[in-house]
């Protein structure tokens, strides 16, 4: 009887334990984020702009520091510390929400959550790698978590909408605090393969700025800038399209709000189905197929979406956009993390997160302005062009990696 390969074996129990609580936490975070934005809408568009900005900008500014601290102290230790801080912050905010739900309170709540998330997110992505038995299982583990988090965020928004209509804001803070408390218990009970930080940094007394500089130098040495550019271009093409261009396009076509919501739902469905499929079947061995084909599929779907289309065709194209997005992201993330030096995993993840967050943050406003003036087709064409450029960048990046790997293989080959 043949022995199953390590990659095909079941994932460890403690991975599944973390998978469950991280999914619950994502749902709670989405529920709270929607409740804050919805409450802000009652104070006018300026309040919405302030709250939404403070929910993103601190993450972009601080995430590299979070990555450096995760490498220095270990992902699990950093997660325990930040989760405890999150629990305390939610308890304080729950009490304050009884007294006021004004703009200042909402801004403080959004900013506090973003600051804590900046230090949590890179470590939370790296931790599954330390919980699995074999590195070959990492792509499956990451895809499984990615798929469930995506579903949890979608459900969290819906639950948040129902909850904020029936319960006061303090109840939502309470529910989220309970979930965070459960996460803290699980983090204290699991034991990764290794949770030691950057030995060289701590032994030499190097500061956080040195750690950041070391991480950036490693990125340059590994020649992965084209792959990071592909990540940035895909994020810039997809996220603003889903968030701001598709609703404006639907309105310009005279579609109803329910029909417009089907576009985002279609993208989410395509992303979720593809992610969960890869989480159970494993990644494609020839990584060039999804890493180049994914952006190419996004480019083709968006270019077609710019043409006059009925609602069913537009939803189908949105689904294809989601499929291309998931095909790309579920392969590029483990590929980049495998290239990272073992003592710089969290820094690499923080850099990838910034690359994903910054372009949409910069492009949301101009693309919203373009599509809001009746030129949504032009905005979609621009997004399609960025997706096509991502495919080209991925090809260039994979060729550079092959060129780097070939001399190493030659030097290690027997004489």
Q: Do 200-405 and 10-197 have the same topology in CATH? A: yes
Strands (E), 284-353: none
User: For 50-82, how does the pLDDT look when each residue is reduced to its tens digit (9 = 90+)?
Assistant: 887 788 888 888 887 887 787 778 888 899 999
Of 280, 273, 302, 34, give the one whose Cα is nearest residue 176.
34
The pLDDT assigned to 338 comes to 72
The pLDDT assigned to 302 comes to 94
> Judging by beta carbons within 10 Å of its beta carbon (0-12, 13-18, 19+), is residue 348 exposed, middle or buried?
buried
Of 219, 322, 207, 308, give the one whose Cα is nearest residue 263.
322
**CA angle 348–89–40, rounded 5-degree value:** 90
- What average pLDDT does range 139-154 have in this prediction? 72
CATH number assigned to the domain covering 200-405: 1.20.1250.20
pTM, rounded to two decimals: 0.65
Residue 156 has which token pair? 């969290």
The domain locations on the chain are 10-197, 200-405
**Spatial contact of 270 and 320, defined as CB atoms under 8 Å apart:** yes
**Spatial contact of 242 and 388, defined as CB atoms under 8 Å apart:** no
Sequence-distant (6+) residues with CB within 8 A of 33 are 55, 110, 113, 156, 157, 160
Sequence-distant (6+) residues with CB within 8 A of 11 are 132, 133, 137, 140, 141, 144
User: For 324-338, how does the pLDDT look when each residue is reduced to its tens digit (9 = 90+)?
Assistant: 998 898 888 777 777
How high does pLDDT run on average in the chain?
79
- Pick 240 or 85 by higher pLDDT: 85
The pLDDT assigned to 410 comes to 43
Percentage of the residues of the chain whose pLDDT score is greater than 90: 22
**Spatial contact of 125 and 356, defined as CB atoms under 8 Å apart:** no
| Domain range 10-197, its CATH number among 1.20.1250.20, 1.10.287.3240, 1.10.620.20, 3.40.50.300 | 1.20.1250.20
End-to-end CA distance of the chain: 36
- What average pLDDT does range 285-296 have in this prediction? 87
Q: Give the 3-state DSSP-derived string for 162-193, with helices as H, strands as E and coil as C.
A: HHHHHCCHHHHHHHHHHHHHHHHHHHHHCCCC
User: For 237-277, how does the pLDDT look when each residue is reduced to its tens digit (9 = 90+)?
Assistant: 998 888 777 877 877 788 876 677 677 778 888 888 888 78
The pLDDT assigned to 203 comes to 39
Strands (E), 291-394: none
- What average pLDDT does range 168-196 have in this prediction? 85
* CA separation for the pair 391, 393 (Å, rounded): 5
The pLDDT assigned to 389 comes to 95
Percentage of the residues of the chain whose pLDDT score is greater than 70: 77
- 124 confidence band (pLDDT: 50, 70, 90): confident
């Amino acid at each position: 009887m043949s022995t199953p390969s390590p990659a095909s074996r079941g994932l460890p129990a403690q991975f599944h334990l973390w998978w469950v609580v991280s999914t619950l936490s994502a749902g709670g975070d989405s529920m709270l984020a929607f409740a804050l934005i919805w409450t802000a809408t009652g104070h006018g568009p300026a309040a919405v702009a302030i709250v939404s900005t403070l929910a993103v900008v601190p993450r972009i500014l601080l995430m590299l520091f979070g990555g450096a601290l995760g490498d220095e102290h270990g992902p699990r230790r950093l997660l325990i510390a930040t989760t405890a801080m999150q629990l305390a912050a939610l308890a304080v905010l729950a009490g304050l929400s009884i007294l006021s739900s004004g703009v200042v309170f909402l801004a403080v709540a959004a900013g506090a959550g973003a600051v804590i998330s900046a230090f949590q997110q890179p470590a939370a992505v790296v931790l599954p790698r330390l919980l699995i038995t074999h590195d070959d299982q990492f792509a499956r583990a990451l895809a499984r978590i990615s798929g469930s988090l995506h579903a949890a965020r979608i459900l969290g928004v819906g639950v948040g909408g129902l909850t904020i209509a029936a319960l006061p804001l303090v109840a939502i803070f309470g529910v989220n605090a309970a979930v965070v408390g459960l996460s803290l218990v699980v983090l204290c009970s699991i034991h990764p393969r290794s949770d030691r930080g950057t030995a060289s940094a701590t032994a030499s007394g190097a500061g956080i700025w040195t750690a950041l500089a070391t991480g950036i130098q490693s990125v340059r040495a590994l020649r992965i800038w084209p792959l990071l550019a592909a990540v940035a271009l895909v994020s810039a093409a997809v996220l603003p399209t889903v968030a701001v261009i598709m609703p404006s396009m639907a309105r310009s076509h005279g579609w109803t709000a329910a029909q417009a919501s089907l576009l985002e739902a279609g993208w989410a469905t395509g992303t979720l189905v593809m992610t969960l499929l890869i989480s159970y079947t494993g990644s494609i061995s020839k990584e060039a197929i999804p890493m180049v084909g994914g952006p190419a599929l996004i480019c083709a779907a968006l270019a077609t979406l710019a043409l006059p289309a009925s609602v069913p065709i537009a939803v189908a194209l949105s689904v294809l956009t989601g499929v291309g997005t998931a095909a790309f992201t579920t392969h590029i993330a483990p590929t980049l993390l495998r290239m990272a030096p073992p003592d710089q995993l969290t820094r690499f993840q923080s850099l990838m997160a910034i690359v994903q967050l910054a372009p949409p943050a910069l492009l949301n406003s101009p693309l919203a302005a373009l599509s809001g003036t009746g030129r949504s087709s032009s905005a979609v064409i621009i997004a399609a062009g960025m997706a096509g450029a991502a495919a080209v960048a991925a090809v260039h990046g994979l060729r550079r990696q092959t060129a780097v790997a070939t001399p190493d293989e030659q030097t290690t080959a027997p004489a």
